[in-house]
Amino acid sequence: MSEPILALKGVTKSFGPIEVLHGVDFALRPGEVHALIGENGAGKSTTMKILAGYLSQTRGEIILDGKPIEFTGSDQVEDLGIIMIHQEFNLAEHLSVDQNVFLGRELKRGWRLDHRAMRTRTAELMSRLESRADPATPVSEISVPEKQMVEIAKALSRQARVLIMDEPTAVLTERETEVLFRQVERLRDEGVAILYTSHKLGEVKRIADRVTVLRDGIMVRSDLIDDVTEDDMATAMVGRELSDLYPPKSDRGAEPILEVSNVSVRGVVENASLTLHRGEVLGIGGLVGSGRTELAEAIAGLRPRTGTVMLKGQPLAAGQVAQAMKAGLVYLTEDRKGAGLLLEKSLRENLTLPLLKDFGRPLIDRKREEAALDRAIEDFAIKVPARNMAVGDLSGGNQQKLLLAKTLLSDPDVVIIDEPTRGIDIGTKQQVYNLIADLAAGGRSIIVISSEMPELIGLASRVVVMHAGRVAGELAGDAVTENGIVRLAMGMEQSGKENAA
Amino acid sequence: MSAESISNTGAARARKVDLRVIGPLVALVVLILIGVMLNPNFLSYSNVTNVLARSAFIGIIAIGMTFVITAGGLDLSVGSMAAFVAGLMIMAMNWLSVSMGDSVVVILLGIVLALGAGLAAGFINGILITRAGIEAFILTLGTMGIYRSLITWLADGGTLSLGSGLSSLYSPVYYGGILGLSWPIIVFALLAILGEIVMRHTAFGRHCAAIGSNEKVARYSSVHVQRVKLATYVLLGLSVGIAVVMYVPRLGSASATTGLLWELEAIAAVIIGGTLLKGGFGRVWGTVVGVLILSLISNLLNLTDFVSPYLNGAIQGVVIILAVVLQRNSGPAR
Ligand SMILES: Nc1ncnc2c1ncn2[C@@H]1O[C@H](COP(=O)(O)OP(=O)(O)OP(=O)(O)O)[C@@H](O)[C@H]1O
Ligand SMILES: [Mg+2]
């Protein structure tokens, strides 16, 4: 086996009085894809940031090519060929895609920027990633998965010896993930050492050569991928056996609660109609960019739309979020950082934001807020090192749990959840699935938008599939299969229109 | 970003936030100590009330400004708005006194008009920013010029003066008071307390901070973003009206130079007090401390012959820059 390029020896990390990594040993080898897995808050991102010089360790050593090294700054780290893609995006929203890809390393001709070369290079990289994002569009205007592709393009454009990716696939569909993995395999064959983390264990099994499990800041095992099964990994992560991931589906009532007819959003959704019944879990499938999120946002009053939305027999006005919430319909965004949470505010302030009026008028009752936070922490098993910390310092998965708690605070009748388990670990996933099932059993109705096929199949009794802004079809009962969803999502019935969006 | 700057977050942050909380207070105490050392009269009753009364106008405006800035906005027009409203008020009262005599009713009508005009001016700023989507900086730069030019025009380049009968009837509002405190001080104190409560303990204050922090998150959290932003400008306009009501009885006049640079002093006071210029976090008590710091500096320079009072602006400038530097080093990392 080849010598490690980059390694950690006895590394610990404390944030203030709290130690989150307890003596981690870890080695990355050239030409090897190494997966780091663990529950939310286990310390994966922290480990990766230390490896890439974004955080300094409290104790222990970082070893590069056999010699201990002190990182002094991101320039030096990049010059050493260590590239990291963060869990949260690091993109300049107002700059265009190509400007982002070459940010800090702009191509020049003489003293002038060589715009054309950067644009062509970016277009090349993006097409290698099979992304349709135009290099000239500002990043603020592209979708979340496209942003991820931009991050990946940025990393690919540099000469990497070590590529570290923190949950790169969390926001990608299976198809996009496959595209990414082909690039990963190419880099591996070129001898790059790759470290990556994901909560999708099937995917880990597919791409990784070696897997290391982190639990509560301690490395519990590290094996060649062929020596472990997905179940082994899950058990090692959670520290207990996991039973069935998906709860049994409950029967839905016959009474329609939400009727969406002929909803259009300029340029993205065309004449979409669907019906949701009381106690039902309805899935919406489709490729990213097929208009799923836009449709959901239009229903929830977050986007201008035409067409009608009837909730419990009453029409919902377009563009009125607060009214929709009051009427009992809420939407959980897929864009946690951009639209979901105030990262520099406390958990309490985030949790109660949509519903402040219910926490005392005119003065907010702090005690009631604290009590609500206690309940949320308990119900959603949020791991909070310090209660008054900024939400941005929570691990990604725990942010997602807080977002769930925040969205469900108003005790809505209809919940539209966009990517419910993005970035959360398998143990918590199970909790979220149970929660969804419980909500449905309690007479609530849920729409789940997901790019994870097994999730749609496991949760929903009926799946509406979108393609290029239209509802391509609907599957129910035993017809809800991966194959069925994919056929509709790819627009097999209306072939030739795939590029319309 | 260097490893150093990132590790500055988290628990280290908690300690630094404390420093930021007490920073302006420490500066205020230091200033007072210096004042006492340089001039024994500094803490005399007459000097203290003098400083407070003079702070009151900027202070009242700065309280309104705190909400605007916290919600991610800005208003450069408040100084000339104050001059314009003062001019309107004086002209209206003079005109009314012709038919109604120098009566309290005329003064009350004048007050109502000033408050109404402030409210309306704030509403115009707010509606254009929220509905027409004009950048706050640009829009209020425009209205700043408009009001300044309107008052110059109304006064025909000179001064608008309140009739002497009305003036003496109205002057107790500035010079009078109860319990040894003049009305401007009392109004300033009451508004400060009210503002602090609204900012910290009501949904409105929380919504302002949420919008300034991330407007999209606020919108997705069903906060009425446009409505709240509009309200901040209307409140600021109203506080300008209140400041004018307190200011007019002081000199009984308004001219093209009335309220000159008040907007900058108000914004400076807000920032010195620890409110983030980019929005997302604001505190009214900090603004009060900021106002006091600024007026103490000029008072000190006037009381001592240590440094020329002409350097007042320079020293205030240094304080403002220091405050912002302090904020940057310890503010939440974004
Ligand atoms: N700056 C910080 N200040 C305080 N605590 C922090 C900070 N950054 C991370 N933590 C804490 O360290 C722990 C490990 O976080 P980390 O982000 O490494 O988890 P993770 O394994 O990546 O989880 P996830 O799967 O949710 O992304 C968490 O409990 C987190 O709250
Ligand atoms: Mg993480």
Helix, strand, coil percent content, chain B, rounded in steps of 5: 75, 5, 20
Residue A96 pairs in a beta bridge with A138
Q: Is the CB of A49 under 6 A from ligand 1?
A: no
Do A216 and A272 belong together in one domain? no
Interface A–B counts its CB contacts (< 8 A) at: 102
Share of chain B above pLDDT 90, in %: 55
Which residue did the predictor score with more confidence, B138 or B2? B138
The bound ligand whose nearest atom lies closest to the alpha carbon of A22 is 1
> Average of pLDDT values for B172-191?
89
- How many other CB atoms are there within 10 angstroms of residue B141's CB atom? 16
A100 in a domain, yes or no? yes
Ligand whose nearest atom lies closest to the CA of A398: 1
What radius of gyration do chain B's Cα atoms show?
A: 21
Any domain includes A387: no
**CB neighbours of residue B98 within 10 Å:** 9
- At residue B283, does pLDDT exceed 60? yes
CA torsion sign, B290 to B296 to B302 to B304?
negative
User: What tokens were used for A83?
Assistant: 């590239």
State whether A16 and B12 contact (CB < 8 Å): yes
CATH number at residue A184: 3.40.50.300
Q: Let me know whether A213 and A324 are in one domain.
A: no
The answer to whether A233 faces chain B, any CB pair under 8 Å, is no
Is there a contact between A333 and B221 if contact means CB atoms under 8 Å apart? Answer: no
Q: Is A352 in the pocket of ligand 1 (CB under 6 A)?
A: no
Among all bound ligands, the one having the nearest atom to the CA of A87 is 2
Asked if residue A275 and residue A225 are part of one domain, the reply reads no
Count of the separate structural domains present in chain A: 2
CB A301 less than 6 A from any atom of ligand 1:
no
pLDDT at A403: 94
Q: Which amino acid is at A92?
A: A
Is A217's C-beta closer than 6 angstroms to any atom of ligand 1? no
pLDDT tens digits for B208-266?
999 999 999 999 999 999 999 999 999 999 999 999 999 999 888 899 999 888 999 99
The closest ligand to the CA of B14 turns out to be 1
- The answer to whether residue A178 is domain-embedded is yes
Query: φ, ψ for residue A306 (rounded to 5)?
Result: -115, 170
Last residue of a domain, one of A185, A205, A238: A238
Find the domain containing A443 and state its range: 256-328+412-492
CA A234 to chain centroid, in Å, comes to 19
Burial group, residue A111, by CB count within 10 angstroms (0-12, 13-18, 19+): exposed
Among candidate residues A238, A268, A284, the one where a domain is terminated: A238
Q: Which residues pair with A263 in a beta bridge?
A: A272
Residue A335: inside a domain, yes or no?
no
- Looking at the partner chain, which of B3, B201, B332 has a beta carbon nearest the beta carbon of A53? B3
How far apart, in whole angstroms, are the C-alpha atoms of residue B206 and residue B211? 9
Which domains are seen in chain B, by residue range? 29-329 (1.10.3470)
Which residue carries 């030019």 as its tokens? B149
Rg (CA), chain A: 23
Predicted local distance difference test score (pLDDT) of residue A453: 84
Residue A207 maps to a domain: yes
Task: Indicate whether A206 belongs to any domain.
Answer: yes
| Residues A288 and A221 placed together within one structural domain of the fold | no
**Predicted local distance difference test score (pLDDT) of residue B334:** 34
Instruction: Kindly report the nearest CA distance between residue B195 and chain A, in angstroms.
Output: 13
Of A204, A238, A272, the one marking the end of a domain is A238
| Alpha-carbon dihedral sign for residues A309, A315, A320, A325 | negative
Query: Measured between alpha carbons, how far is B35 from B293 in angstroms, rounded to an integer?
Result: 12
Tell me, yes or no, if B5 comes closer than 8 A to chain A by beta carbon.
no
Furthest C-alpha separation in chain A: 70
Nearest CA to ligand 1 atom 24: A40
Distance CA A270, CA A248 (A): 34
Residue B203 forms contact with A (CB below 8 Å): yes
Residues, CB within 5 angstroms of ligand 2 (ion): A 44-45, 87, 396
Give the closest residue to B94 by CA, choosing from B102, B82, B104, B83: B102
Q: What is the mean pLDDT of residues B133-162?
A: 93
Q: Measured between CB atoms, does A198 come within 8 Å of chain B?
A: no
Return the half-sphere exposure (C-beta side, CA atoms, 13 A cut-off) of residue A500.
17
Q: How confident is the model at residue B62 (pLDDT cuts 50, 70, 90)?
A: very high
A276 and A161, same domain (yes or no)? no
- Please give the backbone phi and psi of residue A460, each rounded to the nearest 5 degrees, phi first: -95, 140
Q: Are A332 and A418 in contact (CB under 8 A)?
A: yes
CA of B13 to the centre of ligand 2 (A): 20
CA dihedral for B136, B137, B140, B142, sign (positive or negative) = negative
pLDDT digits (tens, 9 = 90+) for B70-122: 999 999 999 999 999 999 999 999 999 888 888 889 999 999 999 999 999 99
Distance A88 CA to ligand 2 centre (A): 9
Residue A473 Cα, gap to closest chain B Cα (Å): 29
Any domain includes A323: yes
Identify whether A4 is preceded by a cis peptide bond (ω within 30 of 0).
no
Asked if A18 and B220 come within 8 Å (Cβ–Cβ), the reply is no
The Cα–Cα gap between B268 and A6 comes to: 50
Take residue A160 and report the two structure tokens written for it. Answer: 């990497």
Please compute, for residue A193, the number of CA atoms within 13 A of its CA located in the half-sphere on the CB side: 20
**Cα–Cα distances in Å, from A445 out to A263, A276, A422, B328?**
20, 7, 20, 46
The CA distance from B146 to B175, in Å, is: 32
In this structure, the answer to whether residues A473 and A446 fall within a common structural domain is yes
Put simply, the answer to whether A16 touches B280 (Cβ < 8 Å) is: no
Beta-carbon separation of B220 and A342 below 8 A: no
Nearest CA in chain A to B2: A73
CA distance B334 to A35: 29
The whole-angstrom separation of Cα A338 and Cα A347 is: 16
Question: Are residue A416 and residue A314 in the same domain, yes or no?
Answer: yes
Substitution target from B204, B222, B225, B281 for chain A, most A beta carbons within 10 A: B222
What residues of A are in contact with residue B3 (Cβ under 8 Å)? Answer: 53-56, 71-73
For CA atoms B133, B136, B142, B143, the dihedral sign is positive
Q: Is B6 helix (H, G, I), strand (E, B) or coil?
A: helix
pLDDT value at B133 more than 50: yes
Query: Is there a contact between A97 and A141 (Cβ–Cβ < 8 Å)?
Result: no
Ligand 1 atom closest to the Cα of residue B10 is: 3
Which residue among A12, A26, A46 is best mutated to probe the pocket of ligand 1, counting the most ligand atoms within 8 A of its Cβ?
Answer: A46
| Claim to verify: residue A210 and residue A84 sit in the same structural domain | yes
Q: How far apart are CA A49 and CA B49, in angstroms?
A: 56
pLDDT in tens, chain A (501 residues): 578 999 999 999 998 878 889 989 989 999 999 999 998 888 999 999 999 988 999 999 999 998 999 888 778 888 888 989 888 778 888 899 999 898 888 888 888 888 888 999 999 988 888 888 889 999 888 888 888 888 888 888 888 899 999 998 888 888 888 888 988 998 899 899 999 999 888 899 999 999 999 988 899 889 999 999 988 888 888 877 766 778 887 777 788 999 999 999 998 899 999 999 999 999 999 887 789 999 999 999 999 999 999 999 999 999 899 999 999 999 999 888 889 999 999 999 999 999 998 898 889 999 999 999 999 999 888 888 888 899 999 988 889 999 999 999 999 999 999 998 887 888 888 888 988 998 898 889 999 999 888 889 999 989 999 988 999 999 988 888 888 888 888 877 543 333 333
Residues A16 and A138 in one domain: yes
Chain A, 291 to 330: residues with Cβ < 8 Å from chain B are 302, 321-322, 324-325
Atom of ligand 1 nearest to the CA of A199: 25
Do A36 and A85 reside in the same domain of the chain? yes
Nearest to A415 by CA among A288, A278, A261: A278
- C-alpha A64/C-alpha B82 separation (Å) is 65
Instruction: Supply the mean pLDDT for chain B.
Output: 87
Residues A206 and A89 in one domain: yes
> Does A228 share its domain with A260?
no
Within a domain: A383: no
A122 lines ligand 1 (CB under 6 A): no
